[in-house]
């Protein structure tokens, strides 16, 4: 019987670093993901590495294939006749929003996503007739850039890239256990001190788009109501604020530390830096309003997760979040995918903006250590 000797690099790493794992995914990802600690002697706290999200008991996703759009393309799905790409574009056009300039049908010819599509991106799926290598299948093909988990000096573990990542390239998806957020709260999980990511992230992302001027539109039940006024005196201590050229757009908390008011509207104030008269408003539907549900869903990556659970927060992130639909078009359960905001040079740490609402968890204040020049000061 021949014995397989470890690679010289592996032996070197084991001798030099206090903690070294050759592949934290245990072969589950398309590429190995090494994990290194050169800061102290701690190993990564145990968790179950999973490549795809799993559903908590009581959570059910719509998987009826009659519900799914599928394409009949025989080319690379690069043309606008692909029904899946068309769906991406139509969903973007269908939303009421102030700035529709960035709507596209998704990935470019190099499989890159150059700007975020707030209404979601629909990849080709298992019911489509196109090939498994068509240009509208990116996140489903897994991680393509070499990543590494490492111990940072001050914010625990983090993730860096071992190679340049071009702008718009897919990096990885956030994976974990999908839970009802009311149950997550009841079981003591809080944003800010663990591994929760919101599946209703689109609402905040949507609100951020309000930086190019507001056009007055309607509001309706179960909608996010954005209003713009010239009053910029509002207290910003409990707001997460995203600023644009001349507009700041901030979700507000009511007395119960809730973002949703009694009428089921999402509370957002837009304060303009330039004088404007009157008040305009437009609406954004909350996902839950389509399903008669009072809760939304979160991904908890504390026990089950992938490399993304180690990506830290920055107020100036180098990744952006894109909701992507692959084998289910149930809008409550998008895949949460990370793409490069601009070219990310090799050996840079990866960051996304957690978008936590500062002040939303009573008694909790976590200082943000991202160090960026426009740091908001607190993580939560």
Ligand X SMILES: C[S@@+](CC[C@H](N)C(=O)[O-])C[C@H]1O[C@@H](n2cnc3c(N)ncnc32)[C@H](O)[C@@H]1O
The three state secondary structure string of the chain is CCCCCCCHHHHHHHHHCCEEECCCCCCCCCCCCCEEECCCCCCCCCCEECCCCEECCCCCCCCCHHHCCCCCCCCCCCCCCCHHHHHHHHHHHHCCCCCCCCCCCCCCCCCCCCCCCCCCEECCCCCCCCCCCCCCCCHHHCCCCCEEEEECCCCCEEEEECCCECCCCEEEEECCEEEEHHHHHHCCCCCCCCCEEECCHHHHHHHHCCCCCCCCCCCCCCEEEEEEECCCCCCCCCCCCEECCCEEEEECCCCCCCCECCCCCEEEEEEECCCCCCCEEEEEECHHHHCCCCCCEEEECCCEECHHHHCEECCCCCEEEEEEECCCCCCCCCEEEEEECCCECCCCECEECCCCCCCCCCCCCCECCCCCCCCCCECC
Q: Does 361 bind ligand X (CB under 6 A)?
A: no
Q: Applying CB under 6 A, does 201 fall inside the site for ligand X?
A: no
Rounded Cα gap, residues 158 and 82, in angstroms:
38
150 near ligand X (CB under 6 A):
no
Contact between 370 and ligand X per CB under 6 A: yes
Provide, rounded to whole angstroms, the least separation between the CB of residue 312 and ligand X: 4
Closest CA relative to residue 167, chosen from 320, 4, 379, 329: 320
Q: 41-70: which residues touch ligand X (CB under 6 A)?
A: none
How far is CA 137 from each of CA 74, 90, 180, rounded to the nearest angstrom?
A: 14, 18, 28
Query: Closer CB to ligand X, residue 34 or residue 106?
Result: 34
Only segment of 48-56, 129-137, 163-171, 311-319 that touches ligand X (CB under 6 A): 311-319
* b/e code 64-74 from CB counts within 10 Å (16+ = b): eeeebbbbebe
- The smaller minimum CB distance to ligand X, of residues 195 and 320, is found at 195
253 belongs to the binding site for ligand X (CB under 6 A): no
Question: Cβ of residue 144: shortest distance to ligand X, in angstroms?
Answer: 22
Applying the rule CB under 6 A, the residues between 208 and 237 that interact with ligand X are none
Taking CB under 6 A as the criterion, the residue among 85, 208, 288, 309 binding ligand X is 309
Q: Is 155 in the site for ligand X (CB under 6 A)?
A: yes
Question: Per rule CB under 6 A, is residue 376 in the interface with ligand X?
Answer: no
Segment lying near ligand X (by CB under 6 A), choices 14-22, 271-279, 336-344, 363-371: 363-371
Stretch that binds ligand X, among 25-33, 73-81, 95-103, 156-164 (CB under 6 A): 156-164
Q: Which is nearer to ligand X, 195 or 282 (CB)?
A: 195
Q: Closest separation between CB of residue 23 and ligand X, Å?
A: 18
Distance CA 128, CA 6 (A): 43
Region binding ligand X by CB under 6 A among candidate stretches 59-67, 207-215, 273-281, 306-314: 306-314
* Interface pick for ligand X out of 122, 170, 195, 266 (rule CB under 6 A): 195
By CB under 6 A, the residues from 89 to 128 that bind ligand X are: none
313 part of the interface to ligand X, by CB under 6 A: yes
Out of 122, 157, 266, 325, the only residue in the binding site for ligand X (CB under 6 A) is 157
- The residue sitting closest to ligand X, measured at its beta carbon, is 156
Tokens 């740490």 locate to: 349
Segment near ligand X (CB under 6 A), from 1-9, 277-285, 307-315, 316-324?
A: 307-315
* By CB under 6 A, residue 193 contacts ligand X: yes
Q: Can you tell me which of 272, 312, 323, 355 binds ligand X, judged by CB under 6 A?
A: 312
Single residue of 72, 156, 345, 377 touching ligand X by CB under 6 A:
156
Exactly one of 310, 333, 339, 356 binds ligand X (CB under 6 A); that residue is: 310
Tokens of 316: 């100036």
Nearer to ligand X, 346 or 365 (CB): 365
Residues near ligand X (CB under 6 A) are 155-158, 192-193, 195, 309-310, 312-314, 368-370, 379
């Amino acid at each position: 019987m021949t014995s397989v000797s470890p690679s010289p690099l592996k032996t070197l790493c084991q001798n030099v670093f206090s903690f070294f794992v050759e592949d934290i995914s245990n072969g589950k990802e398309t590429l190995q993901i090494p994990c290194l600690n050169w800061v102290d002697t701690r190993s990564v706290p145990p968790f179950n590495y999973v490549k795809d999200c799993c559903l908590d008991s009581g959570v059910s996703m719509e998987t009826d294939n009659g519900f799914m759009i599928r394409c009949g393309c025989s080319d690379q799905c690069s043309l606008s006749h692909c029904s899946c790409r068309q769906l991406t574009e139509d969903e973007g056009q269908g939303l009421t929003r102030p700035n529709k300039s960035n709507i596209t049908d998704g990935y470019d010819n190099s499989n890159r996503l150059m700007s975020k599509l707030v209404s979601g991106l629909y990849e080709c799926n298992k019911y489509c007739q196109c090939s498994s290598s068509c240009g509208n299948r990116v996140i489903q093909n897994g991680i393509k850039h070499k990543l590494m988990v490492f111990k940072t000096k001050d914010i625990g573990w983090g993730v860096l890239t071992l190679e340049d990542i071009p702008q718009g390239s897919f990096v990885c998806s956030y994976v974990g256990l999908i839970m009802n957020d009311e149950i997550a709260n009841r079981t003591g999980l809080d944003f800010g001190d663990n591994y929760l990511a919101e599946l209703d992230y689109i609402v905040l992302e949507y609100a951020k788009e309000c930086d190019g001027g507001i056009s007055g539109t309607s509001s309706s039940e179960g909608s996010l109501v954005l209003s713009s006024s010239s009053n910029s005196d509002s207290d910003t201590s409990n707001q997460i604020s995203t600023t644009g050229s001349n507009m700041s757009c901030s979700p507000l908390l009511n007395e119960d530390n809730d973002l949703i008011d009694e009428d089921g509207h999402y509370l957002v104030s837009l304060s303009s830096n330039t004088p404007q008269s009157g008040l305009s408003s437009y609406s954004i539907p909350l996902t839950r309003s389509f399903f008669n549900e009072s809760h939304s869903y979160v991904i908890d990556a504390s026990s089950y997760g992938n490399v993304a659970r180690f990506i830290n927060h920055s107020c100036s992130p180098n990744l952006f979040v894109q909701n992507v639909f692959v084998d289910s078009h149930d809008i409550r359960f998008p895949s949460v995918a990370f793409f490069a905001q601009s070219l990310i040079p090799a050996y840079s740490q990866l960051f996304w903006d957690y978008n936590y609402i500062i002040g939303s968890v009573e008694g909790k204040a976590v200082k943000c250590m991202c160090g960026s020049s426009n740091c908001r000061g607190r993580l939560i």
